[in-house]
Chain A
Amino acid sequence: SAVISQKPSRDICQRGTSLTIQCQVDSQVTMMFWYRQQPGQSLTLIATANQGSEATYESGFVIDKFPISRPNLTFSTLTVSNMSPEDSSIYLCSVEISLYEQYFGPGTRLTVT
């Protein structure tokens, strides 16, 4: 398993601003993922972040809106840019430990006013 932490745990932001979410894992992992969970809905994959390469975004998500950094094997950041109320969601990072098994962080609850 892995211990994953996220900062901040929650935030309330004004529209038009940006928020950077941090994800830290207690061991070195190759693959990290960022998911979004909109209110009352299930999780949707935003992008896959591998160390040393550009993040790979899923359909409907673009780098200009959700820039991602992956500077080393234990850390990643997701920025939500130019926020609107529709970006209010829980954002979760996950890591792949073995055999495609994923472990998730506690999430960041974002409210955009």
Chain B
Amino acid sequence: KQEVTQIPAALSVPEGENLVLNCSFTDSAIYNLQWFRQDPGKGLTSLLLIQSSQREQTSGRLNASLDKSSGRSTLYIAASQPGDSATYLCAVGFTGTASKLTFGTGTRLQVTL
């Protein structure tokens, strides 16, 4: 069964700190991996998309990496801000069913003043 897991489930950091969120998947045959942000009770905002042929993608203070062989992706957030507080979800498009995203369990991030 293709599964996606995120660790930690929750994280609290002081403002300004750099942090890493982890995503692991059980099947290395992936087409792509997408990171989303979800604010409480809201929809999902797409942050970064990494194709299987890529190793990383960057957008502003965010950097996502992908290591297919180890079944892992990380989302690095630099100089965290209170506005970064949200739940971060990774979603994997596995080869053969790439349109059917399999979501991780999410990491709830709180950035404190």
Chain B interfacial positions (CB closer than 8 Å to A): 31-32, 34, 36, 41-46, 49, 51, 89, 91, 93, 98-101, 103-106
Residues of A within 8 A of B45 (CB): 104
Mostly, the A contact residues are: strand
Can you name 6 A-B pairs with beta carbons within 8 Å?
A92-B44, A99-B32, A102-B34, A102-B91, A104-B44, A104-B46
Number of cross-chain contacts by CB at 8 Å: 59
**A10 to B, closest residue via Cβ:** B41
- Which of B41, B89, B93, B105 is close to A109, meaning CB atoms less than 8 Å apart? B41
Shortest beta-carbon distance from A101 to chain B in Å: 5
The 8 A-B residue pairs with the shortest CB-CB distance, nearest first, are A104-B44, A106-B43, A107-B43, A42-B103, A100-B98, A43-B103, A104-B43, A101-B49
- A48/B43 in contact, CB under 8 A: no
Residues of B within 8 A of A96 (CB): 99
Chain A interfacial positions (CB closer than 8 Å to B): 1, 4, 6, 31, 33, 41-45, 48, 58, 90, 92, 94, 96, 99-107, 109
- A100/B32 in contact, CB under 8 A: yes
Residues of A within 8 A of B32 (CB): 99-101
- B51/A106 in contact, CB under 8 A: no
- A45/B100 in contact, CB under 8 A: yes
- A42/B105 in contact, CB under 8 A: yes
- A48/B103 in contact, CB under 8 A: no
- Which of B42, B49, B91 is close to A106, meaning CB atoms less than 8 Å apart? B42
- The answer for the CA separation of A96 and B45 in the assembled complex, in Å, is 14
Residues of A within 8 A of B89 (CB): 42-43
Q: A42-B89, A101-B49 are in contact. Are A48 and B44 (CB under 8 A)?
A: no
